[in-house]
Amino acid sequence: MRHLLIMGVCTAAISAGSTSAFAQSTGNVIEELVVTAEKREQSLQDVPVAISAFTSTQRDKVGIATVQDLTNFTPGFVYQSSNDRASMRGIGRLTNVHSVDGAVSIYIDGLFTTSTVLAGGPPLDVDRVEILRGPQGTLYGRNAIGGTVNVISVRPTEDFYAEVRGIVESYGFTNVQAAVSGPIADGLRFRLSGYKLDQHEGYFENVNSGRPTEGTKRNEYQVQAQIEADLGENAELWASYKTLVWHNRGGPGARAGYLNDPYELGLTDPNFSVVYNSAFGYSNNIVPGSLQQYNGGTTTSNPALSDSHKFNTNIPQRVRLRDVNSFTTQFVYHAPSFDIKYVGGIQEYKYDLYGDTDATNVASFQIPLAAGSLCGNVAALYAAGASTVNCTPLTVNANNGYHYFEYPKWYSNEINISSTTDSPVQWIFGLFQYQEQYSGTGSTADFFLVGPSNLATPVLGAAANPDQWWSTGNYALTTQSKAVFGQVDWQMTDTLKLTVGLRYTKDKKFGTEYRRIVCNSDVCYPGLYSALGLNGFGPGTAANYGSLLGNLNALPAVGQALGLGNALAGLAGLGNGAFDLTDTLAPKSTAGLIEGVSTPSVCTAGVCRQYVVDKNSGIASRELSGTSDAPTGTVGLQWEPDDSLMAYARYSRGYKAFGFSAGGFLAVPKADAEFANAYEIGIKKNFSNLQINAALFYIDYRDLQAPVTVRIGPTNVSQFINIEKSRSSGIELSAIWQPIQPLRLTLDYGYNPTKIVKSSPLVDVNDNVVTAAVDITGNKLPQAPEQKVAINASYTFDWDPGSLTLGATYLYRSKSYANVFTREYNMAPSWDQVDLRAYWQPSGGKYTVIAYVKNLFDTEGYAAAVAGSQRNAPLLQGAQTLELTPPRIFGMELQYRF
């Protein structure tokens, strides 16, 4: 049945071509779709850029409700929901660090935003979404090296209007939406809208008794208020305020996938070896009977290996989004031959994510003592009354959590002047300014132990650590960007138009990063005990020292019990606790200043430190500062021999500012700016019942900013480098075919082979077999599936009572990789999916009923590739983590208009 359905849809749509512009249709003639992709209203078929555009009505009919849905119908577009990252044609951001700019710019009503997830706003509020593919380095300079997503809100109406929508789905999902709009007075209009969304059951089940389900489990609401005013005959003012709140176990950062490998049972976590590995408690190498699990759990293996939607942790993931304030305003003045437009606004939010670092439900376990260990000898002496201190096997607190946070606040201002005459020369010029203040964690999170441990009291006089952080790295950074831009379109002849655009952008980033690492494992103590002259007592490990590990205050008594008298008396007062590695692991230099670090250098014996360690907090800090600038632009030629055909050739240059991998205290914290030179030819052809758009592109991509993990002492950290040269090329096909009035067929197809052309050899630390640097030339660009297909077929039955549209969608996406190492454990496999939809609208249009099933055959789809990890793979190369699309979902929506 599945294959018959897929083949039927494919055969019908392939005979047509594809769809990117989801235009409306009347009869069997495809209507014009107007977009503002080049900051003036134009027919989509007249814009010489590869665009996918989605109206609110077509989103309802096809079933496009989220950003992930948008990517399904947009060639070259990929979205990683767990990290809220977007990529276009293989160009994207490869790190969570906010001081590294995104590569796909998101504009909501003309205001730049850093949150891709907001582009998936509900159709009730969003009139249109326009996705411009390829560098948009002239009119949209901020983070537009890969492409741009424009979201245009539904505006206030001149007549009274109100609508309510209710959606129910599987997993206890409900979404109630409402909007009201109309006049306040002559020339003054308002719109008020909002939604309340709940999902009571997550897609993933915790086998640990008493813990909640996770994955898209949501509790959120949004409210938006708009006002629009006519200021005389020649000016308009529009303003919008929006707030949003999440109390979720879903959304960006929350559980979206599963670990496709067994638990790693080594004593120390291979990624975070400064603490003991909680999963070691599941092995047979612990003190028999010492394993303690939360909530009476008995699971000791990864449950996802038998069911990808099951997991086992004791700390539930929790997403909280609060203090969201977004204000946007637009003012337009219509002069006789030009418009002056101002777009500005301010946004802020606070995002917190909490979860379980170790991904187990282990509470504690004991590490066995080695034969003849110091601890065993001390215990025997204590039992005989010959020692004042006792020793037992070390009990490991395995309750390991994390906290990731983002607290940004930014504002921007743009003013542009554009021509409005019917002259053969059309132009637009403008100024842009952006500033952001941001604080947040680095590329991972802040990690801590919950409950008793010696992390709170580091030894050797180091500052106290009352919150028991074993790794913390965060930063506060200010970003400033300014630009001037202009574009001229010259209609040289009746059929030829020349476009020339230029932009100059200057970026500055400055701030402070903070770092502390406190070690509590066998990795750090051997060196400490050796430095204290204790080699004669055996290795500084839990198997030798047991419960005395880290208890330097007890060493004098141990010496006396062993008959050494006061030989160890000098070690008294050194503390009982963990070992602070902050200064040990912080980067030093013998070759001069570190690029991007502005803290003064202090040198001792030829070793220079560009950081300071606070004596009270133990946290190291250093100042970061840098600038970059670039001219970008476009040159294009457009040929329109008649009203039904447009062909174009275009060159565009894109730029993304330099970045800091802040919060990690890296030896190389700064990566230079990225550049892309894109060459594209395209054709847009309209027949009476067929619309075909196609683009052929080649992108010369320079200095890709890539985080590469390296081993520094006992920890894995990311270095920030530039990949010298890559390329992205391909063809994108878009069409709509309506052979007869009731039947509508669409196809979106993208073929995008990518390749790293030139790079220095790099070490993949997740490869436990090949540990030397490897050649990555020839590897694919991250998050770039080579092929994407979206096919939709719908048939409308028109009767006197109303119309019923039945539709089916087939989606296919080929494999893709998470980083520059094209390895199986970084791969999202290929996948496909079938959706069904029924859309009933009675005559008069007062209400609409939609029924649907998404992922009809309950296949596993992969939203994006997630990097593998050395964790959980002791014998093989890195472990595989897979981010899943939603399982099969049944749903129904009712819309009622007053």
DSSP 346-402: EEEEEEEEEEESS-S-EEEEEEPPPTT-HHHHHHHHHHTT--SS---PEEEE--EEE
DSSP helix/strand/coil, 849? strand
- Residue 76: is it exposed, middle or buried by C-beta count within 10 angstroms (0-12/13-18/19+)? buried
DSSP helix/strand/coil, 30? strand
User: How do 205-206 and 310-311 pair as beta strands?
Assistant: parallel
How far apart are the C-alpha atoms of 507 and 375, rounded to whole Å?
Answer: 59
How far apart are the C-alpha atoms of 72 and 750, rounded to whole Å?
Answer: 11
The pLDDT of residue 565: 92
The pLDDT of residue 711: 65
pTM of the predicted protein model: 0.92
Tokens representing 193 are: 């809208």
User: How do 205-206 and 235-248 pair as beta strands?
Assistant: unpaired
Q: In Å, what is the CA distance from 586 to each residue of 274, 608, 619, 663, 715?
A: 15, 11, 11, 12, 11
- Residue 731: is it exposed, middle or buried by C-beta count within 10 angstroms (0-12/13-18/19+)? middle
Q: Which of 359, 580, 366, 543 is nearest to 455 (CA)?
A: 580
Only one residue has tokens 């607190």, namely 397
How far apart are the C-alpha atoms of 549 and 534, rounded to whole Å?
Answer: 13
For residue 761, what are the β-bridge partners? Answer: none
Tokens representing 571 are: 């070690």
Question: Each residue of 810-868: pLDDT tens digit?
Answer: 999 999 999 999 988 889 999 999 999 999 999 988 999 999 999 999 999 998 888 77
Phi-psi region of 412 (alpha: psi -120 to 50; beta: other; left: phi over 0): beta
Tokens representing 695 are: 């683009």
Element (H, E) at 682: strand 674-686
**What length does the chain have?**
898
Question: Each residue of 638-660: pLDDT tens digit?
Answer: 999 999 999 999 999 999 999 99
Q: How many CB atoms lie within 10 A of CB 305?
A: 14
How far apart are the C-alpha atoms of 171 and 202, rounded to whole Å?
Answer: 7
The pLDDT of residue 781: 96
Q: In Å, what is the CA distance from 735 to each residue of 30, 192, 648?
A: 11, 36, 17
DSSP helix/strand/coil, 351? strand
The pLDDT of residue 447: 96
How far apart are the C-alpha atoms of 842 and 323, rounded to whole Å?
Answer: 41
Q: Which of 707, 606, 722, 618 is nearest to 666 (CA)?
A: 707
Tokens representing 234 are: 């020649």
Q: How far is CA 626 from the centre of its chain?
A: 24
Residue 879 DSSP code: B
Residue 153 DSSP code: E
What is the C-alpha end-to-end distance of the chain, expressed in Å? Answer: 41
DSSP 211-238: PPPBSSBEEEEEEEEEEEEE-TTSEEEE
- State which amino acid sits at residue 606: G
User: How do 690-712 and 674-686 pair as beta strands?
Assistant: antiparallel
The pLDDT of residue 808: 98
How far apart are the C-alpha atoms of 509 and 624, rounded to whole Å?
Answer: 8
Tokens representing 457 are: 């009291």
How far apart are the C-alpha atoms of 237 and 327, rounded to whole Å?
Answer: 14
Cβ proximity of 880 and 79 under 8 Å: no
How far apart are the C-alpha atoms of 448 and 400, rounded to whole Å?
Answer: 6
- Residue 500: is it exposed, middle or buried by C-beta count within 10 angstroms (0-12/13-18/19+)? middle
- Residue 198: is it exposed, middle or buried by C-beta count within 10 angstroms (0-12/13-18/19+)? middle
Which parts of the chain sit beneath pLDDT 70? 1-30, 710-718, 870-878
The pLDDT of residue 872: 62
Element (H, E) at 182: strand 173-185
Q: In Å, what is the CA distance from 897 to each residue of 165, 716, 841?
A: 9, 56, 12
Contacts of 612 (CB under 8 A, 6+ apart): 599, 620, 621, 622
Alpha helices in 142-239 (DSSP H): none
Print burial letters for 643-679: b (CB count within 10 Å at least 16), e (below 16): eeebbbebebbbbbbbbbbbbbbbebbbbbbbbbebe
CA atoms within 13 A on the CB side of 553: 9
How far apart are the C-alpha atoms of 290 and 286, rounded to whole Å?
Answer: 7
The pLDDT of residue 798: 94
- State which amino acid sits at residue 456: A
User: How do 469-491 and 425-441 pair as beta strands?
Assistant: antiparallel
How far apart are the C-alpha atoms of 664 and 447, rounded to whole Å?
Answer: 13
The pLDDT of residue 453: 92
* Long-range contacts (CB closer than 8 Å, 24 or more residues apart) made by 267-272: 267/367, 267/521, 267/522, 268/521, 268/522, 268/523, 269/358, 269/871, 270/870, 270/871, 270/874, 271/716, 271/869, 271/870, 271/871, 272/357, 272/447, 272/470, 272/471, 272/715, 272/716
